[in-house]
Amino acid sequence: MSAPIRIVIADDHPVVRDGLRAVLGTQPDLEVVGEAATGAEAVSLAGSLAPDLVLMDLQMPELDGAAATVRLCDRHPDVHVLVLTTYDTDADIARAIEAGAIGYLLKDAPREDLFAGVRAAARGESVLSPAIATRVLGKMRAHGEEALSPREIEVLDAVARGMSNNEIALELRVSEATIKTHLLHVFGKLGVGDRTAAVTLALRRGIIRLDAPPRDAGHRSG
């Protein structure tokens, strides 16, 4: 049996932390190893406890969630940050993703979505709340921006070939954070919440093909 996913909860409300600890504790593969009431404390605990994942609220004293995420990703790149918040404005979402968060979930998400999101984020997979993805999709459609960019298609094609974020980053010679950002944009444009749904929809629409040769084949330096 594999080791449980080690989680630090970062939220300035004790009742919220207690609730999350209780909910996550119902899953045998999830273990809450620490709690932080401020962004600064979250960064400190990431260093001392070496968790797999930090569940990060955005609005906290001393150091807010986005600023804490920047610092945490810089100091502890192996620790993933999954934002869990009540705030769903475009500015909040953009700040969190640009800060380096691997995903963005809302606190009113069903338990199963929370569990799935935590597990995916711990594996290094980008996660977007279905409610956020749907809203972003609606906005993009209103502005005629639904189409994926060539780079987003390239990244999604690599995902369909079974590559991890790190492997895609190495192939495309960019940072893993850049790949995460591309995937979250893809999720928003397609109106989905995870990699599997994005690939399934893209295949159905003919955006990507599993039998297509890898992009840039023959152009890599050896």
Percent with pLDDT over 90 in the chain = 56
**Residue 117 maps to a domain:** yes
**Residue 199 maps to a domain:** yes
**Residue 220 maps to a domain:** no
Residues 82 and 26 in one domain: yes
Other C-beta atoms closer than 10 Å to the C-beta of 215 total 16
Residues 115 and 37 in one domain: yes
Which residues are registered as beta bridge partners of 103?
82, 127
**Residue 107 maps to a domain:** yes
Residues 24 and 101 in one domain: yes
pLDDT over threshold 50, residue 218 = no
Q: How far apart are CA 104 and CA 97, in angstroms?
A: 8
Residues 145 and 113 in one domain: no
Residues 170 and 69 in one domain: no
**Residue 221 maps to a domain:** no
Residues 141 and 201 in one domain: yes
* pLDDT interval class at 190 (50, 70, 90): confident
Which of 77, 104, 124 terminates a domain? The answer is 124
Percent with pLDDT over 70 in the chain = 88
Residues 163 and 107 in one domain: no
Residue 23 pLDDT: 97
**Residue 54 maps to a domain:** yes
For the chain, what is the domain count? 2
pLDDT tens track for 97-122:
888 898 899 999 899 999 999 999 99
> Given the DSSP bridges, would you call strands 127-128 and 5-10 parallel, antiparallel or unpaired?
unpaired
Residues 98 and 159 in one domain: no
Q: How far apart are CA 3 and CA 105, in angstroms?
A: 24
Q: What range does the domain containing 107 cover?
A: 5-124
- Taking residues 78-96, what's their average pLDDT? 87
Between 80 and 135, the higher pLDDT residue: 80
Residues 118 and 155 in one domain: no
The distance in angstroms from the start CA to the end CA of the chain is 39
Which residues are registered as beta bridge partners of 6?
31
Residues 44 and 104 in one domain: yes
- Taking residues 17-28, what's their average pLDDT? 97
